[in-house]
Amino acid sequence: MCPVYLGAYDEEEAAARAYDLAALKYWGPGTLINFPVSDYTRDLDEMQNVSREEYLASLRRKSSGFSRGISKYRGLSRYFFFVFFICMIVGFPED
């Protein structure tokens, strides 16, 4: 299982939400995420119509670029020499 890059985000919360959306797409609403699943009702409906790969690509397109160090949210890293949060998810099941 390799980490899957979800993008880099200017805001820590935006990166945490990208992680949540990817986790929901791969593992469903019962998975452990950062925010209440009720925050993603519309997103859950939209993600049903696209493949995993297409959905990951859409998350990456919404990202900002690079990254920054330690985050309180699951799935994030913040690096001190950059000013962005990088988002990755690990452990996708095999297709």
**Paired tokens of 44:** 């859950």
Is 78 a domain residue? Answer: yes
Q: Is 80 domain-assigned? A: yes
Residues 88, 74: contact at Cβ < 8 Å? no
Q: Convert the pLDDT of each residue in 70-83 to its tens digit.
A: 456 666 655 544 44
Q: pLDDT tens digits for 6-55?
A: 888 888 898 899 999 999 998 999 999 999 999 999 999 999 999 998 99
Residue 47 forms part of a structural domain: yes
Q: Look up the domain containing 16 and give its range.
A: 4-89
In a domain, 95, yes or no: no
The three-class DSSP label of residue 56 is: helix
pLDDT at 4 over 70: yes
Q: Looking at the domain assignment, is residue 49 inside a domain?
A: yes
Q: Does any domain span residue 94?
A: no
Check residue 81 and give its pLDDT.
46
Q: What domain count does the chain have?
A: 1
Residue 38 belongs to a domain = yes
> Hey, what are 77's tokens?
């890293």
In a domain, 67, yes or no: yes
> Is the Cβ–Cβ distance between 25 and 58 less than 8 Å?
no
